[in-house]
Amino acid sequence: MEFKPVEWFNSFVTDTQRILIVSKKPDTPTYINMIRVTALGLVILGVLGYVVELGTVLIKSAMV
């Protein structure tokens, strides 16, 4: 199987054009909902990271 850059690029451009034609700008309620879900995910990851860090600090201090 040979890599053909020109054919790959043409296929990429065609696929990109198809996606841009099908996609649409979200309305305001959908956009706000996406922001809320993203913010919630960031908060959950932050809390999880904090709990893991706190656990490692407590374990290290208990060993000393």
Digit-by-digit pLDDT tens for the chain (64 residues) are: 687 888 989 999 999 999 999 998 899 999 999 999 999 999 999 999 999 999 999 999 988 7
Which DSSP category does 24 fall into? -
| Amino acid identity, position 41 | G
| Amino acid identity, position 35 | I
In this prediction, residue 41 carries a pLDDT of 98
Distance from C-alpha of 41 to C-alpha of 60, rounded to nearest angstrom: 29
Please report which helix (H) or strand (E) contains residue 19, including its range.
helix 5-22
Which of helix, strand or coil describes residue 25?
coil
Which of helix, strand or coil describes residue 42?
helix
Global pTM reads 0.61
